[in-house]
Amino acid sequence: METKMNAPQIPGRDAAILAGAATLAGAAVAPVHAAGSDEIRIGLLGCGGRGSGAIRQCLNADPGIVVVALADLFPDKARKLRDALMKDPKYAGRIRVPDDAILGGFDCHEKLVKTNTHLLLMATAPGFRPWQMMAAIQAGKHVFTEKPVATDVAGVRVFMEASKLAEQKGLAIVCGTQRRHEFSRVELMKRIHGGAIGDLIGGQCYWYGGGIWYRGMKEGLTEMEWQCENWYHFTWLSGDQICEQHIHNIDVMNWCFDGPPKKFTAVGGRACRDYSTEAKKVAAAFKNDAQWPKYNGDIWDHVFAEFEYANGARCLSFSGHSPGTGRSNEKIVGTKAVSDCANRIMGHKGEKIWEYSGPSVNGMDQEHVDLIKSIRAGKPLNEGMRIAESTLTAIGGRLAATTGRTFTWDWLLKASKNALVPDRSMWKPGPGLFHPISTGCDPLV
Please answer whether residues 296 and 305 qualify as being in contact, where contact means their C-beta atoms are separated by less than 8 angstroms: no
Q: What's the pTM? A: 0.92
Domain membership of residue 3 (yes or no) is no
Same domain, 207 and 279: yes
Give the containing element (helix H, strand E) for 169.
helix 153-169
Same domain, 38 and 116: yes
Same domain, 217 and 147: no
Same domain, 207 and 121: no
Same domain, 31 and 158: yes
Domain membership of residue 444 (yes or no) is no
Beta bridge partners of residue 370, listed in sequence order: none
CB neighbour burial string for 188-206, b if at least 16 within 10 angstroms, e if fewer: bbebbeeebbeebbebbbb
Domain membership of residue 283 (yes or no) is yes
Domain membership of residue 424 (yes or no) is no
Please answer whether residues 174 and 205 qualify as being in contact, where contact means their C-beta atoms are separated by less than 8 angstroms: no
**Residue 348, number of CB atoms within 10 A of its CB:** 12
Domain membership of residue 306 (yes or no) is yes
Same domain, 149 and 60: yes
Domain membership of residue 189 (yes or no) is yes
Residue 208 sits in a domain whose CATH number is: 3.30.360.10
Same domain, 169 and 276: no
Same domain, 108 and 255: no
Same domain, 398 and 254: yes
Residue 373 sits in a domain whose CATH number is: 3.40.50.720
pLDDT per residue, tens digit, the chain (445 aa), is 454 333 323 233 344 434 434 333 333 333 444 444 599 999 999 999 999 999 999 999 999 999 999 999 999 999 999 999 999 999 999 999 999 999 999 999 999 999 999 999 999 999 999 999 999 999 999 999 999 999 999 999 999 999 999 999 999 999 999 999 999 999 999 999 999 999 999 999 999 998 899 999 999 999 999 999 999 999 999 999 999 999 999 999 999 999 999 999 999 999 989 999 999 999 999 999 999 999 999 999 999 999 999 999 999 999 999 888 789 999 999 999 999 999 999 999 999 999 999 999 999 999 999 999 999 999 999 999 999 999 999 999 999 999 999 999 999 999 999 999 999 999 999 999 999 999 999 999 9
Whole-angstrom distance, CA of residue 133 vs CA of residue 149: 9
Same domain, 103 and 189: no
Q: Give the structural domain span for 348.
A: 181-359+393-416
Domain membership of residue 439 (yes or no) is no
Number of domains in the chain: 2
Same domain, 187 and 217: yes
Give the containing element (helix H, strand E) for 162.
helix 153-169
Domain membership of residue 5 (yes or no) is no
Same domain, 325 and 371: no
DSSP for 226-247?
A: HHHHTGGGSHHHH--HHHHTTH
**Residue 308, number of CB atoms within 10 A of its CB:** 17
Q: Which residues contact 19 (CB under 8 A, 6 or more apart)?
A: none
